[in-house]
Amino acid sequence: MAPDIRSPAYLADRRRDLELSIDAGIAGALGAGKADVLLAPMSAAAKCTGKAGAPVIAIPAGLDADGLPFGVTVFAAPGQDARVLQAALLVERIAGERIAPVLA
């Protein structure tokens, strides 16, 4: 059974999630690196961005050594959607044409 979202325990856990994912996570990394956006391998940032409500875009970037699709995620702090879109456009241009995997 899921906890009551109004319970003190749930609210405390949610505050902690936001503190870790935004303050100590995304905002901390942006500040430490004096960066506008962050890049990570596809899905590596899913927990952090999802809990923080941060904008994120996954961009196909080619195939890895085994021929499997590989991608990059571009993300930033909540409210920085325009920065993520601008950076994703640049990454997409650099990554070039999407290469679809051959499925057997």
pLDDT at 29: 94
Indicate whether 56 belongs to any domain: yes
- Reported as a single tens digit per residue, the pLDDT across 50-87 is 889 999 999 988 888 887 888 899 999 999 999 999 99
Rounded Cα–Cα distance for residues 10 and 24 (Å): 20
* Distance, CA of 31 to CA of 36 (rounded, Å): 9
* 32 found inside a domain: yes
Residue 19, in any domain of the structure: yes
Tell me, what's the pLDDT at 87? Answer: 96
Residue 26: per-residue pLDDT: 94
Decide if 104 is inside a domain.
Answer: no
Residue 61 forms part of a structural domain: yes
> Which range of residues forms the domain containing residue 29?
8-95
Backbone angles phi, psi at 80, to 5 degrees: -100, 40
Q: Is the dihedral of CA 76, 77, 83, 86 positive or negative?
A: positive
What pLDDT is stored for residue 68 in this prediction? 80
One-letter amino acid for residue 97 of the chain: E
CA 79 to centroid of chain Cα atoms: 13
- State whether residue 79 is helix, strand or coil: coil
Q: How many residues are recorded in the chain?
A: 104
101 occurs within a structural domain: no
Note whether residue 3 is domain-resident: no
Considering the domain boundaries, does residue 103 fall inside one? Answer: no
Tens-digit pLDDT profile for residues 80-104: 999 999 999 999 888 877 777 677 7
Number of domains forming the structure of the chain: 1
Place of tokens 């590989």: 70
